[in-house]
Structure 1
Amino acid sequence: MGSEMSFLPDLGVFTMGMWSVGLGAIGAAVTGIVLANTDLFLSKPEKATLESLEDIELKTLGPEKRTFKAGELWKENGAVIMAVRRPG
């Protein structure tokens, strides 16, 4: 028999494929860390004006459902308002 059959795969192609998968995973991990810990691509926040806050409709919690404008909160007395936007 002039040619021998080799059942061993070509390890060079396999090793190169593993390197590319490994480098892709490392690149994805670094990109995820950078995007999660910086505000590089986020839009800049806008400051709320009193007029825009007054026009917000609020709903009460509990059995009595009532809707009212936020301006009613400080119409007769002062009020401290904090707006928090949760991620997601």
Structure 2
Amino acid sequence: MAKTTTAAPLVLHPMAKFQRQVQSLVESNVIKSTDKLWKIAFLFRDNWDYWKHELEEFEFSMQDPISHLLAVENWEEEL
């Protein structure tokens, strides 16, 4: 009998999920990629403290344009 393999499900880093949500907001013209990251706070009110902390952990400034967040290709953290 042939051996079958199942691919492990892809688990996205929380920042990748956040990045996708922000990308969707840009595509929907809710925000612009040239807007500063702090503008996201108005859209993620309840979770903003968490996301702000995460962004700062990845060395983002709230004055950086949203395009910098969208340009990240890999969210792996250094150990």
Both structures adopt the same fold (TM-score exceeding 0.5): no
Q: Which has the larger radius of gyration?
A: 1
Structure with the bigger percentage of strand? 1
TM range (shorter): under 0.3
Looking at both structures, which has the greater relative contact order when contacts are Cα pairs under 8 Å and sequence separation is at least 6? 2
